[in-house]
Structure 1
């Protein structure tokens, strides 16, 4: 581009051109090429690539196509601004939004279509910022209660499997060795990584045990964690202690106990001493609290 048009590219990418400047820029031979680059971003999903390397290749090809013509971007600051603007556009279209909940807290997330995801402690939810209406998909590590607005398929991806719905209320718990889905409204399709599939409706739940999906009935209208409590039935003590750590932001020293023993019972989230007694006393375990560390041993 001629030197008197150098500022136009950066200002155009930043939407800072006056109407007169925009008309002048559109008359340049290079405008169509730049316009195609930006418009093309609207039709592609995010690839895995090095943004800076990709930009360099794109601009090099653009220069090669201008046979015999030198495209000069001076002063240098405008070239830097233009490159940064293009990278910004790529990032805005392709980036993901991630929400991570700290230990001992909960978080409510409103998704782009008005659906909500209430995240339990120590959970992470990730989704694409753009093109949401065409691809309502989230990645979950942890536990969340979803209330999904009616629309295209809504998919929750976890390490153990995926859940698909149209519009409903359901809870997903996916933590290391645990994979559970409970439906409180509508219908939910659950598929494991081993291609096992179950469709559950309101009042039903499935859990993955010994690599098999098991369906059960539930009477509650929502997950207990939303009311600040956890309940376990014949669950290894390790998983109960893990949940205590998440809800109270503490760390257990467990070397002197057997974490494989089964526990049945529960605890509340609003009183640490009471929660520890509720879990440890029935298991004949003593505890000593030192700050955020809790040492366990048998009586």
Structure 2
């Protein structure tokens, strides 16, 4: 019987999974095992088959074997008769074998169960949903920090894989990605995928917005358009990428063909103070807008105040407005906009109706 077979039978016997035939085979080997064989030969043979066990377990096994060998040597020196010596040798030989086989079984169990746990963790997904009127902070498994804006959903795994870190976003989020050159971080949206290594950026990807925005503050990102996989757009700090999100209307199709072909646009942001960057003003629960359509600003107001705005006048949607909304109540916010753009409003629960004055 080879040493591998012996270890296998010992492991099955200790694990109570051996068949009657295997137990008989093991007993035959034990009966035929030479009494004069040195214990270190047995332990060396056994240790040669423990490569699959966990490294920490192996160190512990080696320590125990050394302790056993020390006890055996003392036993040999202090035993008065050959009979006692043989009895102690036999006892410690199999005690050592038991320690090693236990280590093998424990190591294999630990390795297999750790791998299973890791694989299971990758399959477990978390979904963070943020309602209107709220924001939420998250820390990813790798330490990456994420702030989610109102009306956003982020899906991420319990544990990232060894090669990549991937999340899916609907809505708006601000990322501070932990740097790891060997494990790129991917943010998937309905129209594009953003690849980063260690970066600070903002993604705005609401399904009902006209554009998907990626604003880079630090580092470098590569954006891949899902409808044009060969096109990779690299953003540098202080740049914003706009990607068309909504299908074109009939009027847009019949308009300027040159304008209709615009799929995306990279914009360099103006140099301003950190608290004056409108793309990240929401982090401080503010809305900053400059010459923007009332219709687009209304969507931000809906998310901030948890209301639904209904335009009873289509002309009002196209009005361009500017301003800053901070800690004002909804009524005060509407009055601020009303100063430059006259309109009437009425409220019915969470419904806000706007009409031309």
- Go from structure 1 to structure 2 and tell me whether the alpha carbon gap of 1:262 and 1:208 turns closer, same or farther (over 3 Å shift): farther
Misfit runs of 4+, over 6 Å: 88-91
Q: CA RMSD in A?
A: 3.3
1:216 and 2:268 correspond: yes
Q: Match for residue 194 of structure 1?
A: 227
More strand by proportion, 1 or 2?
Answer: 1
Q: Following TM superposition, by how much is the alpha carbon of 1:122 offset from its aligned partner in structure 2, in angstroms?
A: 0.8
Q: Match for residue 278 of structure 1?
A: 336
Q: Which moved more, 1:101-110 or 1:285-294?
A: 285-294
Structure 1 unaligned residues grouped into runs of 5+? 1-21, 44-87
Q: Which moved more, 1:125-134 or 1:106-115?
A: 125-134
Query: How far apart, CA to CA, are the structure 2 residues paired with 1:187 and 1:27?
Result: 59
Determine which of 155, 169, 178 is the counterpart of 1:140: 169
Paired residues for 1:108-187 under 5 Å? 108-151=137-180, 152-176=183-207, 177-187=210-220
Q: Following TM superposition, by how much is the alpha carbon of 1:296 offset from its aligned partner in structure 2, in angstroms?
A: 1.4
- Go from structure 1 to structure 2 and tell me whether the alpha carbon gap of 1:40 and 1:294 turns closer, same or farther (over 3 Å shift): same
Query: How far apart, CA to CA, are the structure 2 residues paired with 1:217 and 1:89?
Result: 42
Contact 1:112-1:132 at 8 Å conserved across structures: no
More helix by proportion, 1 or 2?
Answer: 2
Q: Match for residue 296 of structure 1?
A: 354
Q: Following TM superposition, by how much is the alpha carbon of 1:250 offset from its aligned partner in structure 2, in angstroms?
A: 0.9
Query: How far apart, CA to CA, are the structure 1 residues paired with 2:164 and 2:281?
Result: 30
Query: How far apart, CA to CA, are the structure 2 residues paired with 1:254 and 1:28?
Result: 79
SS of 1:258 mapped into structure 2: helix
- Go from structure 1 to structure 2 and tell me whether the alpha carbon gap of 1:155 and 1:28 turns closer, same or farther (over 3 Å shift): farther
With normalisation by structure 2, the TM-score equals 0.57
Instruction: Decide which structure has the larger Cα Rg and report it.
Output: 2
Q: Match for residue 292 of structure 2?
A: 235
Structure 2 unaligned residues grouped into runs of 5+? 1-12, 21-104, 245-261
SS of 2:303 mapped into structure 1: helix
Query: How far apart, CA to CA, are the structure 2 residues paired with 1:200 and 1:123?
Result: 23
Q: Following TM superposition, by how much is the alpha carbon of 1:268 offset from its aligned partner in structure 2, in angstroms?
A: 1.9
Q: Following TM superposition, by how much is the alpha carbon of 1:24 offset from its aligned partner in structure 2, in angstroms?
A: 3.3
Q: Deviations over 1:89-126 (max 9, x none)?
A: 98655121111111111111000010111111111111
Determine which of 212, 229, 240 is the counterpart of 1:205: 240
- Go from structure 1 to structure 2 and tell me whether the alpha carbon gap of 1:252 and 1:28 turns closer, same or farther (over 3 Å shift): farther
